[in-house]
Amino acid sequence: MHLQPRILVSGGAGFIGSHLCERLLAEGANVLCVDNFFTGSRKNVEHLLDQKSFEVSRHDVTFPLYVEVDQIYNLACPASPVHYQHDPVQTTKTSVHGAINMLGLAKRLRARILQASTSEVYGDPSVHPQTEDYWGNVNPIGPRSCYDEGKRCAETLFFDYWRQHRVRIRVARIFNTYGPRMHPNDGRVVSNFVVQALLARDITVYGDGEQTRSFCYVDDMVDALVKLMAAPDTVTGPINLGNPEQYSMLQLASQVIELTGSRSRIVHRPKPQDDPRQRCPDVAQAKSALGWQPTTALTEGLKRTIAYFERLLSDQNLRKQLAEAQ
Ligand code: NAD
Ligand code: UDP
């Protein structure tokens, strides 16, 4: 008999996953983190390793997993365009085979399972802000398709397991999330700009910089994921989770320069193919079904993120490596 829930977090050694593990442990759960360490690392969870209720296991979710748990958070998948395009076939396998394996596990155990889906299922959206009933505008054969279509297929699998096998699903459509423990080299915009500013390097704005994103601080996101898992089984989603404040990349670059007091200049680089022009969640469903809305303003979240990268860059070796890679 287990009094505390046993929770599996796939991708638990990644950016969001490590914060989620921390939060679940603080709430008294037994947490099993599985990860193949492609973009995540043991370092992200090493401060949790001395807790008896925490376990980490190297495992690739494209292979079946046999464990006993009550809840599953399926976060395993590289999230940065640079990383998910590095081995696109593996990215699709991770989303699709990973979903099949995790759903099979949830079916056998009658466990609740939450999928970390993404705003990328909307592609380059023609509806603003994006509501959950919008079907999206996705290129099925472009460089982002391995991620976008992989995640869309995973959503299909989740809803088919729910209709066909009554698996207790929750599908979260996560919008751009940022904060401490983003990989300094993972190519996403917040980590790129902050690291560039701290190293006094040029800030690389892709295209004209007028494209928008909405940035959610990681603590707010973890809060939403935990609330969604705790919601009644009727709350299957898909449900948008993100911060509805929209910024252009030029605005973000200026904020980062101001908050770091950097002397970096803004330079423009070519815009990647299929880069969405505009992205902003409608979070009305999250508000009504979960009583959730983000509370961390961008300035506050950026300050905490900058403080994290400042600490990280105090390691002179890493500083040198990053300076060479930039
Ligand atoms: P991340 O890259 O830091 O974390 C992903 C984790 O999954 C890493 O630890 C990685 O090693 C692991 N992983 C990758 N492939 C795996 C495999 N085959 N088997 C086992 N582990 C594997 O990214 P993140 O930002 O923490 O994203 C977590 C989840 O949230 C992802 O599913 C991502 O698609 C989703 N998401 C994130 C964002 C965001 O802005 N951060 C936005 C939308 C969706
Ligand atoms: N971007 C940028 N400079 C960078 C990295 C990204 O201007 O150094 C832009 C990118 O073209 C996109 C936005 O920032 O328009 C967000 O990119 P990211 O890779 O963080 O996430 P996406 O939302 O595109 O998956």
Burial class (CB in 10 A: 0-12, 13-18, 19+), 191: buried
Catalytic residue among 73, 84, 122, 147: 147
User: Quick check: 225 and 208 in contact, CB under 8 A?
Assistant: no
Answer yes or no: is pLDDT of 101 > 70: yes
For every residue of 249-264, DSSP letters joined together read HHHHHHHHHHHHT--P
**Domains assigned to the chain:** 6-246+256-325 (3.40.50.720)
> What tens digit of pLDDT does each residue of 210-247 get?
999 999 999 999 999 999 999 999 999 999 999 999 99
Confidence label for 124 from pLDDT (cuts 50, 70 and 90): very high
Answer yes or no: is pLDDT of 1 > 60: no
- Which pLDDT belongs to residue 186? 86
CA distance 284 to 242: 11
- Which pLDDT belongs to residue 130? 96
Residue 71, phi then psi, degrees to nearest 5: -140, 145
- Which pLDDT belongs to residue 315? 79
16 lines ligand 1 (CB under 6 A): yes
For every residue of 89-132, DSSP letters joined together read HHHHHHHHHHHHHHHHHHHHHT-EEEEEEEGGGGBS-SSSSBPT
CA distance 102 to 95: 10
Q: Are strands 6-10 and 266-269 parallel, antiparallel or unpaired?
A: unpaired
- Which pLDDT belongs to residue 324? 74
- Which pLDDT belongs to residue 2? 59
Residue 134: how many other CB atoms lie within 10 Å? 17
61 lines ligand 1 (CB under 6 A): yes
Long-range Cβ pairs for the range 314-322 (8 Å, 24+): 318/184, 319/199, 322/184, 322/185, 322/195, 322/199
Tell which one of 8, 39, 149, 222 to mutate to probe ligand 1, the residue whose CB is within 8 A of the most ligand atoms. 39
Atom of ligand 2 nearest to the CA of 79: 25
Burial state string for 304-316 with b = 16 or more CB within 10 A and e = fewer than 16: ebbebbeebbeee
DSSP 77: S
- Which pLDDT belongs to residue 44? 97
Confidence label for 322 from pLDDT (cuts 50, 70 and 90): confident
Is residue 66 part of the annotated active site? The answer reads: no
Distances (CA, A) of 59 to 32, 85, 112, 146, 272: 11, 21, 20, 21, 32
CA distance 220 to 19: 11
Average pLDDT over residues 46-55: 97
- Which pLDDT belongs to residue 321? 78
Output the six-digit token pair for 91.
């990215």
> What tens digit of pLDDT does each residue of 160-200 get?
999 999 999 999 999 999 999 999 988 999 999 999 999 99
Closest to 21 measured CA to CA, from 167, 218, 215: 218
Tell which one of 46, 67, 75 to mutate to probe ligand 1, the residue whose CB is within 8 A of the most ligand atoms. 75
Answer yes or no: is pLDDT of 291 > 70: yes
* Secondary structure class of 158 (helix, strand, coil): helix
